[in-house]
Amino acid sequence: MSRIKKILSLALAGVAVAVVLLAALHAYYFLPPESVELLLPSSAGGGDKIAIIEINGEIKESSLEQVQKLLDRAETEDEIKAVVLRINSGGGGAVASWKMHNAVKRLKSKSKAEAKAKSKAKSKAKTEKPVVAFISDFGASGAYLVAVAADKIIATPVSTVGSIGVLMVFPFDVPANASEKAKNLSSLSTGEFKDIFSDYRLNEREREYLNERLQSLLKVFLECVAEGRGMSVEEVSKVAHGGWFTGAEGVELGLVDETGDLQDAVEEAAELANLSLEDTKVVTLGVVGSRVKERDYKGKGEF
């Protein structure tokens, strides 16, 4: 009886191995390459990583979606211990910029909350993930709003930083003379400001109304910068004229922590996370199709 059981066990084991092999062959020969992803352990000692996330070009909903995927990956992957935001952007939409700012803050707050919970559980595991922003050519307007959510900001001495302000673009050319007659009247409305853009002119009351809206948006911008930089709203207001500064000037004004390059930002992230760069792998995260990929940050070419 025991001999029959042994034979059955061996037969079942053989069937299981055959199923696994057939599945592997099917995936290799019949599935498209992007559907097959092999996850290999990091070659760096201990598997610790610093992830670089690039923010390039105009900030809008589509770029926000990609950056959010990368931040989610950085948050959920235990091997990633710190994040460097590599910023080269002149800003973009107010909503998309604020959402990206908030996403970076959320990454830090979730990490800190997890660290606090594990500390209460007397766990030695470190979950807090510091974020360092590196501004290369441009980190202005909405892109600077994203940068101030980081723990530290590093820029080159000649980077363009700041440009704290709000811009409203009209869907038509507004006559310089508010009393100029409208070219046409295309709508009727029940409210004074409901058809503000419909008759191709702005009277003084409408201009005041729009300026009030801009000031409301600016207030949010100023408060975010003040919180991120440890400054008062009044201090930020003094440099919030919409103009930009060099990275070196940004250090003097408190808008930047120090000047340096990407390597300096990586070293700062390692220091904040109590990591040794000799035992840490530095990777750049990118989105390919719907998947998040990584490569060595010194590697050339695209993902």
- Does the pLDDT value for residue 229 go beyond 90? yes
Confirm whether 177 is domain-assigned: yes
Q: Could you tell me if 227 and 300 lie in one domain? A: no
* Domain stops at, among 198, 223, 242: 242
Residues 278 and 206 in one domain: no
Query: Is residue 10 a part of any domain in this protein?
Result: no
H or E element, residue 162: strand 160-162
- How far is residue 227's CA from residue 233's CA, in Å, rounded to a whole number? 9
- Choice between 216 and 183, residue whose per-residue pLDDT is larger: 216
Distance CA 3, CA 9 (A): 10
Span 147-156, average pLDDT: 96
Check whether residue 91 and residue 137 sit in a common domain. Answer: yes
Residue type, 272: L
**Do the Cβ atoms of 59 and 96 come closer than 8 Å?**
yes
User: What is the tens place of the pLDDT at every residue in 173-192?
Assistant: 555 455 555 444 444 444 55
126 and 62 in a common domain:
yes
Reply yes or no on whether the pLDDT at 235 is more than 90.
yes
Q: In this structure, are 147 and 237 located in the same domain? A: no
Of 196, 220, 242, the domain-final residue = 242
Is pLDDT of 206 > 90? no
* Domain hosting residue 257, numbered range: 54-159+251-303
Boundary-marking domain end, from 203, 224, 242: 242
Q: Are residues 112 and 212 in the same domain?
A: no
Instruction: Decide if 121 is inside a domain.
Output: yes
**69 and 153 co-located in one domain:** yes
DSSP β-ladder status, 281-288 and 244-246: unpaired
Q: Note the pLDDT of residue 172.
A: 55
CA gap 154, 251 in Å, rounded: 9
Would you say residue 184 lies in a domain? Answer: yes
How many whole angstroms separate alpha carbon 48 and alpha carbon 89?
29
Task: Name the most confidently modeled range: 10-19, 22-31, 66-75, 101-110.
Answer: 66-75
% of the chain at pLDDT higher than 70: 65
For 129: left if phi > 0, alpha if psi spans -120 to 50, otherwise beta; the answer is beta
Q: Is 11 part of any domain?
A: no
Weakest mean pLDDT among 56-70, 76-90, 280-294:
280-294
Q: Is 33 contained in some domain?
A: no
Sequence-distant (6+) residues with CB within 8 A of 219 are none
The pLDDT value recorded for residue 11 is: 54
Same domain, 221 and 273: no
d(CA 98, CA 227): 14
Mean pLDDT estimate for the chain: 76
Residues 258 and 121 in one domain: yes
Q: How far is the C-alpha of 158 from the C-alpha of 178, rounded, in Å?
A: 41
20-75 pLDDT, tens digit each: 444 444 444 444 443 333 333 334 444 899 999 999 999 998 889 899 999 999 99
Q: What is the spatial distance between Cα 112 and Cα 135, in angstroms, rounded to a whole number?
A: 24
User: Is 218 buried (19+), middle (13-18) or exposed (0-12) by CB count in 10 A?
Assistant: middle
What pLDDT is stored for residue 1 in this prediction? Answer: 54
Residue 131 reports pLDDT greater than 50 = yes
How many domains are contained in the chain? 2
| Per-residue pLDDT at 193 | 52
To the question of pTM greater than 0.75 for the whole model, the response is no
Both 180 and 295 in one domain: the answer is: no
Cβ neighbors of 84 (< 8 A, separation 6 or more) are 50, 51, 52, 53, 131, 132, 133, 134, 262, 265, 266, 269
DSSP 215-271: HHHHHHHHHHHHHHHT--HHHHHTT-SS-EEEHHHHHHHTS-SEE--HHHHHHHHHH
Report how far apart the first and last C-alpha atoms of the chain are (Å, whole number).
Answer: 58
- Tell me what pLDDT residue 124 has: 40
Closest listed residue to residue 78, CA positions, set 104, 111, 103: 111
**Position 25 in a domain:** no
In a domain, 104, yes or no: yes
